[in-house]
Structure 1
Amino acid sequence: MYHPILPFCFFAIRVSPEAFKAFILRKKGVIPLPQSLGEHLRNRRLVLDLRQEDVARQLGTLREVYERWERNERQPVVSEWPGIISFLGYYPFGQESTADLVMKARRCQGMDQKELAKVVGVIHQQLRRWEHGDEMPASDKLEALHVLASN
């Protein structure tokens, strides 16, 4: 991209389109390595050049609620997660343990513990123990959780 510095100047700055876009995103306030859900949501909103009100409407919630998510003052309920994951285009957290896998499956499916336990074929107290890292699921149940977390 060729952009003259000043109209009367003979110098110009040559910048690749990718570098220019990265510069603009940094100026908008995009965080390079987001750590929290709020940072992921804010980055996506800024990249898409949307207002908080637009994103809230798209996710089916109030602007005030969405604003609290962005500021990490409030976490979404499980039923709101499928829309958030769809808006982001990815799951914003890592999956290092079985407990993380259970939470990812619940959030991807938008289910509470009882609903997910019924789908997996266990009682909800057992699923709760998996989610807290107190117990490990059997291999067939672990496979079912992987399938549910990938949808």
Structure 2
Amino acid sequence: MPSYNFRLSVEKPTPYPKRPATLGEHLLKKRLENGLFQKDVAKRVRVAISTIIGWEKGRSTPEFKYYPAIFAFLGYDPFPKPKTLGQKIVSWRRRNGVTRKALAKQLGIDEATLEKREKDTAVPKGIMALPWGGVYRKYAHQRQCYAPLAHQY
């Protein structure tokens, strides 16, 4: 009877996607690559372990106030680079942990108006038709943490 010598090899699967698509997948990948437990990440981000589990499993998404700590843990912002003004506003709010309500109040505009701007659906009129950079610069001096936003636009 003939004998055959061959070897099968299969790449060991990882418990996370090679190219993470969601924030939760990015967290899971970083955590496992660093040999950390969910409790370790929870402590760094200052949330409950169940919150980390929810994010990793895609059951929930973080509040804006947690994004700066999440980005610090990851070492990068996993979201696509913003292209439109609305996307840039959302990106800035995420990096700085600022809610839409807080930014709208600081800018002296209605929260619904800011939401429309973020979705790039609003057509500015009157003074709001001026470049948004002027609006941000006008209010940035009132609160120093908004100053970086003024320079972006």
Q: Same fold (TM over 0.5)?
A: yes
Seen in structure 2, the aligned counterparts of structure 1 residues 41 and 84 have a Cα distance that, compared at 3 Å, is same
Q: Matched residues in 2 for 1:136 and 1:63: separation?
A: 43
Aligned residues between the structures: 125
1:44 maps to: 30
1:9 maps to: none
Where structure 2 has 5 or more consecutive residues not aligned to the other structure, the ranges are 1-10, 125-130, 138-145
Contact 1:105 1:149 in 2 (8 A): no
Cα offset, 1:118, TM superposition: 4.4
Note the aligned Cα RMSD (angstroms).
2.9
Which of these residues, 74, 84, 92, is aligned with residue 105 of structure 1? Answer: 92
- CA shift digits 1:5-37 (9 cap, x unpaired): xxxxxxxxxxxxxxxxxx8xx654342211101
2:21 equivalent to 1:35: yes
- CA shift digits 1:33-79 (9 cap, x unpaired): 11101111011111211011110111111111110000110001111
Q: Matched residues in 1 for 2:92 and 2:132: separation?
A: 16
- CA shift digits 1:107-143 (9 cap, x unpaired): 1111111322345x34133322111221377252598
Aligned-pair identity in percent equals 30
Q: TM-score, normalised by structure 1?
A: 0.69
2:133 equivalent to 1:140: yes
Residue identity opposite 2:66 in structure 1? E
Q: Matched residues in 2 for 1:140 and 1:109: separation?
A: 17
1:127 maps to: 114
Residue identity opposite 1:148 in structure 2? L
Q: Matched residues in 1 for 2:147 and 2:20: separation?
A: 25
2:57 equivalent to 1:71: yes
Contact 2:133 2:150 in 1 (8 A): no
Cα offset, 1:106, TM superposition: 1.1
Q: TM-score, normalised by structure 2?
A: 0.68
Q: Matched residues in 2 for 1:143 and 1:47: separation?
A: 40
Seen in structure 2, the aligned counterparts of structure 1 residues 135 and 57 have a Cα distance that, compared at 3 Å, is same
Where structure 1 has 5 or more consecutive residues not aligned to the other structure, the ranges are 1-22
